[in-house]
């Protein structure tokens, strides 16, 4: 591959999970065990009615961690469900997550992996 050639990935989605601060590491480990190749975690501050009132009148922490994972479309549901369980998102106030379609993405892909991808097409 020449230095000017860009390999574009088109069959990918972005999984985003927003959780309370301190929870991201366990969720990322669960996602990687489910097949995610990696994750980006950054910090954020939440605001809204939940932060003022909280569940049962107890304030919810405003400090958040945002986990972003780029996943092949065909693996996304499994990774999403695994992260949902690890984050305990069926519990009020624990966070929320969503999947966003990605039109195209580009990164370095090792030649061996690239050859296998081309063979599948």
CATH of 8-120 given 3.30.2270.10, 3.30.70.120, 1.10.10.10, 3.30.230.70: 3.30.70.120
- Give the model confidence (pLDDT) of 35-73 as tens digits: 999 999 999 987 766 555 555 555 566 789 999 999 999
Cβ-contact 27, 33 below 8 angstroms? no
Domain ranges in the chain are: 8-120
pTM of this structure? 0.80
Tokens representing residue 47 in the block: 């605001």
Per-residue three-class SS string for the chain: CCCCCCCEECCEEEEEEEEECCCHHHHHHHHHHCCCCCCEEEEEECCCHHHHHCECCECCCCEEEEEEEEEEHHHHHHHHHHHHHHHCCCCCCCEEEEEEEECCEECCCCHHHHHHHHHHC
Q: Which residues contact 2 (CB under 8 A, 6 or more apart)?
A: none
pLDDT of residue 36: 95
Question: Regarding predicted confidence, which is higher, 97 or 121?
Answer: 97
């Amino acid at each position: 591959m020449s230095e000017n050639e860009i390999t574009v990935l088109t069959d990918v989605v972005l999984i985003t999970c927003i959780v309370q601060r301190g929870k991201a590491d366990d969720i990322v480990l669960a996602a990687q065990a489910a097949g995610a190749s990696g994750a980006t975690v950054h910090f954020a501050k939440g605001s809204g009615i939940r932060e003022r009132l909280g569940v049962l009148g107890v304030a919810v922490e405003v400090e958040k961690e945002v986990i972003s994972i780029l996943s092949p479309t065909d693996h996304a549901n499994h990774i999403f469900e695994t992260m949902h369980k690890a984050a305990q998102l069926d519990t009020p106030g624990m966070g929320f997550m969503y999947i966003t379609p990605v039109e195209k993405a580009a990164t370095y892909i090792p030649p061996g992996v690239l050859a296998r991808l081309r063979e599948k097409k």
